[in-house]
Amino acid sequence: MAGEADGPFKRVLVPVLLPEKCYDQLFVHWDFLHVPCLKILLSKGLGLGIVAGSLLVKLPQIFKILGAKSAEGLSLQSVMLELVALTGTVIYSITNNFPFSSWGEALFLTLQTITICFLVLHYRGDTVKGVALLACYATLLLALLSPLTPLAVVTMLQASNVPAVVVGKLLQAATNYHNGHTGQLSAITVFMLFGGSLARIFTSVQETGDPLMAGVFVVSSLCNGLIAAQVLFYWNAKPPHKHKKEQ
């Protein structure tokens, strides 16, 4: 009976969260202090949680832009550099056959980020440029995923993530400082990105062992922390035009 009951439970955990040897170690031999297997379980659980959460991370930002019918306070250059960094992570991870739980959120964040790029252009009156951006990006993505693309190009794209993340976030930080407020920047999105990048440092080391991936998330955490600090600092600040409307 125990074996029969064990079946469905085992199918849920193996191989999604645990390799079979770790399942046996933890749930057959009841060795809950087996550190290597606990690390795998924690890493996989965190990774899948981040991937699931990424479906919602930038939706508050998208809804805030749509609700205000404005992208004021968002730096287009910053958003596009973030798109470059996310795209690099997706392409690099697919090419290296990394587990989906170690990078899956980058795919969903990419889709949400390209949507934000379009909305920023749309609400600036450049809808045609926004449509052109979507078409060019789709073409570029297909080209990068092609087997004809050299591995060196993919690795170089991933390596460019660090400067892309740093410059992109600094541009957003500079925009916030110059405006004296964070405009339509969503606090929920900012704090979720900060928490996710922190957790990704551990999961990338545990699941990929790739120092390039881990390094990108370390830098990303520092930069996201800067934006999160600005959101708190400018919490009660309002765009000047809103004051004018109230007078």
Handedness of CA 158, 118, 230, 191 (dihedral sign): negative
Task: Look at residue 6 in the predicted model and tell me its pLDDT.
Answer: 61
* Among the ranges given (131-140, 155-164, 236-245), the one the predictor scored with the smallest mean pLDDT: 236-245
Q: 194: domain CATH number?
A: 1.20.1280
Same domain, 161 and 224: yes
Q: Is residue 117 part of a domain?
A: yes
Distance spanning both ends of the chain, measured CA to CA: 74
What is the spatial distance between Cα 137 and Cα 129, in angstroms, rounded to a whole number? Answer: 12
Confidence band for 44, pLDDT divided at 50, 70 and 90: confident
Residue 85 clears pLDDT 60, i.e. is over it: yes
Question: What is residue 158's predicted lDDT score, i.e. its pLDDT?
Answer: 87
Residue 118 lies in a domain: yes
Looking at residue 142, its pLDDT comes to 93
pLDDT at 1 over 60: no
Token pair of 116 as six digits: 């934000």
Q: Which pLDDT does position 79 carry in this prediction?
A: 92
Domain annotation covers residue 78? yes
- Are 181 and 106 contained in the same domain? no
Q: What are 14's two structure tokens?
A: 């193996």
pLDDT tens digits for range 9-43? 676 677 767 778 887 888 887 878 878 888 888 88
Please report the DSSP string for 199-238 in residue order. Answer: HHHHHHHHHT--HHHHHHHHHHHHHHHHHHHHHHHTTT--
- Do residue 166 and residue 188 come from a single domain? yes
Nearest to 48 by CA among 199, 208, 218: 199
77 and 144 together in one domain = yes
DSSP state of 29: S
How many structural domains comprise the chain?
2
Domain limits for position 185: 151-235
Q: Which has the higher per-residue pLDDT, 247 or 125? A: 125
In a domain, 223, yes or no: yes
Q: Is 85 helix (H, G, I), strand (E, B) or coil?
A: helix
Answer yes or no: are the C-beta atoms of 202 and 46 closer than 8 Å. Answer: yes
Q: Are residues 145 and 132 in the same domain?
A: yes
Region 149-156: mean pLDDT is 90
Q: Confirm whether 139 is domain-assigned.
A: yes
The answer on 177 and 138 residing in a single domain is no
**pLDDT for the residue numbered 204:** 83
**Distance separating alpha carbons of residues 239 and 23, to the nearest angstrom:** 55
Average pLDDT, the chain: 85
Kindly state whether residues 140 and 166 are assigned to the same domain. Answer: no
Is residue 198 located within the same domain as residue 213? yes
- DSSP symbols for 40-91: HHHHHHHHHHHHHHHHHHTHHHHHHHHHHT--TT--HHHHHHHHHHHHHHHH
Tell me, yes or no, whether 19 lies in a domain. no
Give the pLDDT of residue 38: 84
**pLDDT tens per residue across span 87-130:** 999 999 999 888 888 888 899 999 999 999 999 999 999 999 99
Which single residue is written with the structure tokens 């390094």?
Answer: 215
Statement to judge: residues 76 and 128 lie in one domain: yes
Query: Which among 113, 129, 149 is the end of a domain?
Result: 149
CA distance 187 to 106: 20
Give the tens place of pLDDT for each residue, 50-78: 888 888 889 999 999 999 999 988 999 99
Indicate whether 43 belongs to any domain: no
Q: How far apart are CA 169 and CA 162, in angstroms?
A: 11
- Is residue 96 domain-shared with residue 144, that is, in the same domain? yes
User: pLDDT band for position 226 (50/70/90)?
Assistant: very high
Question: Are 80 and 139 contained in the same domain?
Answer: yes
From the CB of residue 85, how many other CB atoms can be counted at a distance below 10 Å?
29
- pLDDT level of residue 184 (50, 70, 90 thresholds): confident
pLDDT attached to residue 7: 67
Q: Please say if the pLDDT value at position 247 is more than 70.
A: no
Same domain, 61 and 145: yes
Q: Which of 131, 149, 167 is the last residue of a domain?
A: 149
CA distance 175 to 146: 37
* The model's pTM: 0.74
pLDDT-based confidence at residue 244 (cuts at 50, 70, 90): very low
Q: Which of 126, 149, 172 is the last residue of a domain?
A: 149
Say if 27 falls within a structural domain: no
